[in-house]
Structure 1
Amino acid sequence: MLFLTFAKLAAFLALATLSVSTPKTCPKKTSVLVVYDLDLVQRPQDLVSTFRLDPERFNIGFLEYSNKDVFMVHDAKPLYEHVVFLPSLKKAPAAKGITNKHKILEYFNLGGNVLAVGSAEHSVPESVVLFLNEAGIYPAPKGYSLSSFFDKDLPLKNSNLVSKRILSLFDLPAYTGSAALVSNNELVLPILRAPSLSFTAPSDSKALTEDNTWTYGEQGFVAVAFQALNSARAAWVGSLDLATPELLSWVFQERKVLKLQFTKHHKTSEPAEENISLYRIKDEASYSVGVSELQNNVWVPYTPASKDDVLQLSFKMLDPYVRLNLTHVGAVASEKDGSVDTNVFAVNFTIPDHHGMFTFELDYMRECLSFLSDKRVVAVRHLANDEYKRSWDITNAWVYIISASAVVVAWLLFVANFLFLSDDVKKIEEKEKKE
């Protein structure tokens, strides 16, 4: 049998010592920087209880917008895992090392997470707004608030939820805050939609016009998230009331985080030779990955949300020659003698009949989950001179072999007849002439 059964593959993975060793739990503490305006926040320590941040899980730091000497990035490394921007009275604060748009983009591209908090009266600094605009989130200007002529309280309920993967339940009896527009960027994740009869306009506006209205009805959103291709996360909320622990846990990557524990590929006939760099055309190959999900600060086996949600392997040169669904094999431990924390997904396939440089590519992108991406480049060679099938091994060649053999045999019979039977014929002919 050319293919290894998935049962044998699971047993092999369970017994093998993985080349990539990862901890079963993530670090206990991460650093959070809260940037605030002293004119709006008199006691920054109270923000810990407002955000309900656990000091045992976070190292929390506070910084005024007026501080010029603090930076988010040093030597191409983020100094904080998470940064929270609160509303400010100033459009351009003095803390350029924190609020400069390019600095925020650099920090975000290095994997840092950003939370921006708006309000009904104030907004985050303009540079933070420009950063959000780059992602496709367009908060209302300063002084714009969400209102309604039909319900002044503006309650937000589960029916307003757009993505339940970030917020599963929500109930706010009265909302006071702002709203934002969003682009059709696939990486933008709307969380809470504004009520259908609401609008966003200046708080002191006496009449609604096209020029002074930012959003109408359900086109506005009071909470929006964004996840970059490097899985860094950002979110904007129109009020501090929306910065719930469930939302913060998503932004701070405490949940909905996937990890690729290992990637393996090998010839099915040589399972001990893993991650080789050279294959031959028409080889039988096996590819497997181990995926974990972070839950309650512990890595557990990841299970897709539905049967249609599958991981796929692309084996490609320029375009995919092979694209296959990975099948769930079973759960294993990512460490020798460790607890089970990884689900294994695998597939067996035949290398295409084409030589060149190919890539084993896994690209798993699902809404609200961190992205998985892995590429392994290998060479695929053609058959060597002594590896081609002999002619007698090819059934289509049998007719030609038989034909050639028949010609040779006929020619030998003709020669034998000519050499050994010709004298007897001459004697018979001479005898007939004499008579």
Structure 2
Amino acid sequence: MKPWTCLALACALLGSTNAKSASGDRVLVLVPKVESAKHYSKFLGSLETRGFEVSIRAASNTSVALQIDGERAFDHAVLLAPAAKKFGDGLGPLDFTRFVDDGGNMVVAASSELSDFHRKLAAQFGVVFEPRSTWAIDHANYMKQNNASDHKVVAASNFAPAPAILSPGFAGTLAKNQQKPAVYFKGIAHKYDVANPQLVPLLTGAITTYSGKDKGEKPIENANAPLNGKSLGLVSVFQTRSNARVAFAGSTAMFSDALLSKRGGDNQRFVEDVAKWTMQEKSVLRETGHRHHLSETGEQPSHYRVSNEIVYEIDLSVYRDDAWHPYVADDVQFEAIMLDPYIRTTLNRTDSTLSASETATYHGDIKLPDRYGTFTFRVNYKRTGYSNVDVKDTVAIWPLRHDGYPRFLSAAYPYYTGSFVMVIGFLALCAVWLFSDEPENTEKAAAAASKEKSKAKNKAKNKSS
């Protein structure tokens, strides 16, 4: 029996095994011909060992369908036919994009003979591959053989700091005298959109790596190529807002048995990390419940009042090692938003829940803002490599009732005192004015007396005359 026939039978026999993926166990593998699957027997065998139901199809097989009766026919797709100009019966790049939008995960492997189909598909996720027949070349870091060397087989070791995706040997700090792991890469490079937070350049070139035509041992004319160093992408991963995952690798050879078993490289572990993350076997984060209530009574009313003190709680779990575990972090934040955040605070973890269940509970004692309106209670948690958690509740905050305000405000005591002092002073002034006698005016009396005397003298003179 032929090797690839045995592989297909093994896929069918292992189909009943439960996979360790949180999103499903059905994998569609598209190769140039079914016979080509024998070159990837180790990679496909690792998928089977982990319990996936692997279906191998030729790229030209017209029976290939991503959806049947409006439902996904597969949970994951692996494209190992970079030169294919089409798949199935007229499946286009948009069909694979819709597959991802519908929650499917996808691994896309390329080569220097990349077709326009793959370029259009990659461009949908911010990945732009280099021109056809170009290679990623490095004359300082390459696979060294006994009597010959191939500078197109790059020994790449510039990994992204993404511990949620890569094993500690790749993403962690190295111990003293520990050699940095390398991954053998033979294929085409790509540009990646640095402004896209959903795209992570997982493996990039070294300072001596560049993209160009194969010029043997004299690539001097390509030394100043615009795409080189860290800007040269070798493997990039993408996670959509709906938490579907896509991986783009510029090399089908790195998945092949030839490089997976090559001494001096760590392709086996790296490819397994990429596949596990893409097929959601690890770093899958979910919210299992959330709630909020008044601090005093523990009740959740239909609406809150301004300045109420409440308790907000949320439960988080992470999937890894074929099981759900409590997610432990110190950066889970709560927001109360009305156009802009009025409150943003870090939630505290309730340690007592870690040993009792598969979730970790985070809580916060929150005083609502002194502003009424319609608010959104939100926990928007996004971290590199983990699934996005975005939990929203629309909550009405009402003003206080007419009898709900305090009778006297402590902050207004100086104003109260000033008002009373003014009233008392006014009353005192009125009392003094009302109950005091009017003093005699001696000057007016003397003037009136002198005036009478003068009148009397004038009368006397008039009589005498």
Match of 1:63 among 38, 53, 57: 57
Q: Is contact 2:381-2:390 (8 Å) kept? A: yes
String of CA shifts for 1:352-399, please: whole Å, max 9, x gaps: 111111000111111111111011001011111222223498756753
Please name the residue that 1:103 is paired with. Answer: 95
Match of 2:25 among 23, 30, 37: 30
Please name the residue that 2:460 is paired with. Answer: none
String of CA shifts for 1:390-431, please: whole Å, max 9, x gaps: 3498756753785699699989x99xx99xxxxxxxxxxxxx
Please name the residue that 2:386 is paired with. Answer: 369
Question: How far did residue 148 of structure 1 move?
Answer: 3.1
Cα distance between partner residues in 2 of 1:131 and 1:181:
14
Please name the residue that 1:129 is paired with. Answer: 119
Task: Tell me whether 1:231 sits opposite 2:226 in the alignment.
Answer: no
Q: Is contact 1:144-1:178 (8 Å) kept? A: yes
Aligned pairs for 1:358-397 (under 5 A) are: 358-391=375-408, 395=413
Aligned pairs for 1:175-190 (under 5 A) are: 175-184=185-194, 185-190=196-201
Match of 2:159 among 147, 158, 161: 161
Match of 1:79 among 64, 68, 73: 73
Match of 1:112 among 100, 104, 108: 104
Task: Tell me whether 1:350 sits opposite 2:336 in the alignment.
Answer: no
TM-score by length of 2: 0.71
Cα distance between partner residues in 1 of 2:409 and 2:388:
52
Instruction: Name the SS of the counterpart of 2:42 in structure 1.
Output: helix
CA RMSD after TM alignment: 3.5
Aligned pairs for 1:82-93 (under 5 A) are: 82-93=76-87
Task: Tell me whether 1:221 sits opposite 2:233 in the alignment.
Answer: yes
Q: Which amino acid aligns with 1:222?
A: L
String of CA shifts for 1:279-336, please: whole Å, max 9, x gaps: 11111111111111112011111112xxxx5111110111011111111222427xxx
Pair member with larger Rg: 2
Please name the residue that 1:429 is paired with. Answer: none
Q: Which amino acid aligns with 1:283?
A: N
Q: Is contact 2:156-2:182 (8 Å) kept? A: no
Match of 2:321 among 281, 296, 300: 296
Tell me how many residue pairs correspond in the alignment. 376
Cα distance between partner residues in 1 of 2:343 and 2:233:
41
Cα distance between partner residues in 1 of 2:395 and 2:317:
26
Cα distance between partner residues in 1 of 2:400 and 2:219:
79
| Consecutive unaligned residues in structure 1, runs of 5 or more | 1-24, 419-435
Instruction: Name the SS of the counterpart of 1:244 in structure 2.
Output: helix
Q: Is contact 1:85-1:116 (8 Å) kept? A: yes
Q: Give identity over the alignment, percent.
A: 23
Change (3 A) 1:71 1:219: same
Greater RCO, CA 8 A, separation 6+: 1
Change (3 A) 1:214 1:117: farther
Cα distance between partner residues in 2 of 1:316 and 1:293:
27
Question: How far did residue 75 of structure 1 move?
Answer: 5.5
Cα distance between partner residues in 2 of 1:159 and 1:390:
70
Q: Is contact 2:84-2:117 (8 Å) kept? A: no
Moved more, 363-372 or 213-222: 213-222
Q: Is contact 2:29-2:55 (8 Å) kept? A: yes
Change (3 A) 1:390 1:396: farther
Q: Is contact 2:247-2:278 (8 Å) kept? A: yes
Q: Which amino acid aligns with 1:249?
A: K
Please name the residue that 1:316 is paired with. Answer: 337
Question: How far did residue 247 of structure 1 move?
Answer: 1.2
TM-score by length of 1: 0.75
Q: Which amino acid aligns with 1:381?
A: W
Q: Which amino acid aligns with 1:215?
A: L
Q: Is contact 1:87-1:122 (8 Å) kept? A: no
